[in-house]
Structure 1
Amino acid sequence: MNSFKVSGVVKTVLPILLGTAIYAFGLLYFIIPNQLMEGGVTGITILLKYAFGISPSFSNLLLNIPLFFLGWKILGGRQIVYTGIGIGSLSFFLWIFEKMIEHGWIETFETDFILASLYAGVTLGAGLGIVFRFGGTTGGSDIVARILNRKYGFSMGQVILTIDIIIIALSLFYVAKENILYTLVAVFIASKVIDFIQEGAYSAKAFTIISDHAPDIADMITKEMDRGVTLIPAIGAYSKQSKYMAYCVVSRPEIRRLHQIAKSVDPRAFIIINDVHDVHGEGFKED
C-alpha cells in the first residue's frame, strides 16, 4: 500500500517539476528579455527585475514564503503541499536558467515581439497547465484568491483578475504600452493552452436524446455504431408522462451518423449535444 502511495506522489510531483521548469524557461527566455509582463506575484517579481534588477528566483521565493504559510494555516490540505513544491521548484528553475543565461549557455530570444509573445504564451501556458492538471500551483495570487474565497466568498477568478489588472497597470511605469499589448497576446494564448492541457487533447461529443422512442434509438445506436448508451428515466414537466432519455458519447467523426440514427427513428426527437473533454473508458482512452 505504501509503495502505491509513494508511486502516486512521484507521479504528481514529477509533472509539477516539469511544469515549473517550462514556466521558468518561458519567463527568462521570452518574457523578461523582451520587456513583457505577467500577472500575479510572478508579475511583481518581473517588475522588481525591471525596476531594481532583483533576481526573479530570489524575489519569487521571498514574496511567496509568507503567502505559503498563511495558506497553510488557513487552507491546509494536500494541495497546499503541492503548492509549496511548485513555489520551491519554480524559484529553483528560475535560478538554474538565470545561471545558464549568465554563462552564455542559453541565448535569450529577442528577435521579434510578435514571435516572443506567441512563444511566451505557449510555454507559460504549457507549464502552468501541467502544474494545474496535477493539483499544484505556483503560489502567489492563487493562494490569496483561495483564502478570500474561503473567508469572504469572493470569486477566485475575480480576485485573480483584479490582482492581474493592478500589477499590469503598475507596470506601465516601467514597460512601454506596446509591450503591454504584446503581453495581452501572450496572456490570451497562455489561457487557451492551459485550458487545452487541463481538459485534454481528445475531444468528443455527448448526446442527450429525449424521445418517446428512446429505447429504440438506443438499440439502433448499439447495433449500428457499437457504442454504449445509457437510458435515463424522465418525466415530462408539461405532459406528466414518463419516458426515457438516451445518453451517449461519441467521437467527432461519429456525430453526423448518430444524429441521423436518432432522427430516422423519431424525427421529433429533442437532441442536446455537448462538448466532452478527456474521455476515458471502453471505446475511448483507457486508463
Structure 2
Amino acid sequence: MIKKGLNKINFENIKILMTPRITLQTLLNIAAVILGAFLFSIGVNQFMIPGNLGDGGVSGLAIIILYAFDISPAISTLVLNGILLVIGFKFLSRRGMYYTIFAVIMMSIFLGITDSFVIQTDEIMLNVIFGGLFLGLGNGLVIRIGATTAGSAILGRIVNKYTDIKIANAILVFDLMVITIGLTVLTIEQVLLTVVAMYINVKVMDFMIEGMNPKKAITIVSQKPEVLGKLINSEIGRGVTMMNGKGFYSREENDILYVVINKSKLTRLKRLIKHYDENAFVVVNDVNSVLGNSIA
C-alpha cells in the first residue's frame, strides 16, 4: 500500500512538472511577436517594395530575389531564415529561439497576407520614412522580448553576445552588406534612399529596445549627503544608496549617493540638489533596464 501510494505521488509530481505553464507574460510576449511581425510586413509590402526600395538582412535578400526572379518574399524569407535559425540555435538561448521560430513563421504568413494591401503614394520620401518606421517598430517589438525576426537580427544578437557592440549597430553593418549586393538590381538613387530608410529603422529599433525605459541613474557627490539622502527619500519618494568614495587629488573621503528615478522626476531632483548644495557634483546616466524595487 505504501509503495503504491509513493508511486502515485511520484507519478503525479512528474505530471505536474511536465504540464506547460502559460503565464500572462508569455501571452504578452506572443502578442508582441505577432504585432511586431505584422508591422514589419507592412513596412516591407506597403512601403519598401512599392517604392522600389531594398532592405537589409534576409528581407533585403528576399526583395532582391523578388526583383530578379519574381519569387514572393513570404517564401524566400522562410527558407533563408530557416538556414539562419540552424546557425543561431547554437548561440542563442532556447527560450529566445522558440520565440524567434514563431516570429519567422508569423512574419512569412503576414508577408503573404499583406501582399495584397495597397497604399498609394507618389512621394518616395513617404515610402522611405514610413518604411523605416514600420520596420523599426516591428523589429524592436520582437527583439525587446528576447527574440528576433531572424535574418541579420540573429547575427546582431550573436555579435552583441560576445562584444560590446549594440544589436542595432551590428544589424546596420550586416544590412549595409546586403544593400551593396542590392546594387545588382537597384539604381544608386534607390540604394541611397534605402540607406536612409535603414537608418530610420535602426534608430526606431534602438529606441524600442533601449529607450522605452524612462529611468535615469543619478550619482551625487555632495558635502551634505545625509540631508540630500533624506530629502530624496521624503520628497522624491525613492530609496538611495550611499557609497564611500575618496577624491584622487584631495584624498578627502566623501559619501556618494546613488539613486534611480523616473525621467519625469529628474528636473525636480536637480532643483532640490541645487537648492541645498549648489556645489554638488551630479552625473546623470541613461538606464536600459531596472529589476527589483528601489534601493534603500
TM-score class, shorter: 0.7 to 0.9
Q: 1:191 to 1:9 in 2, by over 3 A?
A: same
- Whether contact under 8 Å (2:136, 2:202) holds in the other structure is yes
| Aligned position for 1:117 | 128
Q: TM-score of the superposition, structure 1-length normalised?
A: 0.82
Q: State whether structure 2 residue 178 is matched by structure 1 residue 192.
A: no
Q: 1:67 to 1:20 in 2, by over 3 A?
A: same
Unaligned ranges ≥5, structure 2: 1-15
Residue 95 of structure 2: SS of its match in structure 1? helix
Distance 1:256 1:156 in 2: 29
- Whether contact under 8 Å (2:233, 2:240) holds in the other structure is no
| Aligned position for 2:79 | 62
Match of 1:269 among 277, 280, 295: 280
- Amino acid corresponding to residue 172 of structure 1 in structure 2: L
Provide, for residues 117-172 of structure 1, a one-character-per-residue CA deviation record: whole Å limited to 9, x for no partner: 1111111111111111122111122334555777x879675764443222111212
Distance 1:206 1:149 in 2: 23
Match of 1:142 among 153, 156, 176: 153
- Whether contact under 8 Å (1:234, 1:242) holds in the other structure is yes
Q: 1:97 to 1:160 in 2, by over 3 A?
A: same
Unaligned ranges ≥5, structure 1: none
Q: 1:160 to 1:260 in 2, by over 3 A?
A: closer
User: How many corresponding residue pairs?
Assistant: 275
| Aligned position for 2:5 | none
| Aligned position for 1:42 | 59
| Aligned position for 1:255 | 266
Of 184-193 and 159-168, deviating more is 159-168
- Whether contact under 8 Å (2:245, 2:256) holds in the other structure is no
- Whether contact under 8 Å (2:247, 2:254) holds in the other structure is no
Distance 1:167 1:23 in 2: 18
Query: What is the RMSD of the two structures over their aligned residues, measured on CA atoms?
Result: 3.0
Q: State whether structure 2 residue 245 is matched by structure 1 residue 235.
A: yes
Instruction: State the 1:279 CA deviation.
Output: 6.8
- Whether contact under 8 Å (1:30, 1:110) holds in the other structure is no
- Listed as ranges, the matches of 1:28-107 within 5 Å are 28-73=45-90, 75=92, 77-98=94-115, 101=116, 106-107=117-118
- Whether contact under 8 Å (2:238, 2:261) holds in the other structure is no
Distance 1:277 1:149 in 2: 15
Residue 34 of structure 1: SS of its match in structure 2? coil
Q: TM-score of the superposition, structure 2-length normalised?
A: 0.80
| Aligned position for 1:15 | 32
- Whether contact under 8 Å (1:206, 1:247) holds in the other structure is yes
Distance 1:35 1:248 in 2: 50
Match of 2:178 among 161, 167, 188: 167
Provide, for residues 6-36 of structure 1, a one-character-per-residue CA deviation record: whole Å limited to 9, x for no partner: 5433221221011001101110000011111
Q: 1:89 to 1:252 in 2, by over 3 A?
A: closer
Q: 1:207 to 1:109 in 2, by over 3 A?
A: same
Match of 1:220 among 231, 253, 260: 231
Instruction: State the 1:93 CA deviation.
Output: 0.9
Q: 1:153 to 1:77 in 2, by over 3 A?
A: same
Instruction: State the 1:63 CA deviation.
Output: 1.1
Distance 1:32 1:69 in 2: 28
- Amino acid corresponding to residue 97 of structure 2 in structure 1: I
Instruction: State the 1:109 CA deviation.
Output: 3.3
Of 185-194 and 14-23, deviating more is 185-194
Distance 1:270 1:190 in 2: 37
Residue 47 of structure 1: SS of its match in structure 2? helix
Q: 1:6 to 1:108 in 2, by over 3 A?
A: same
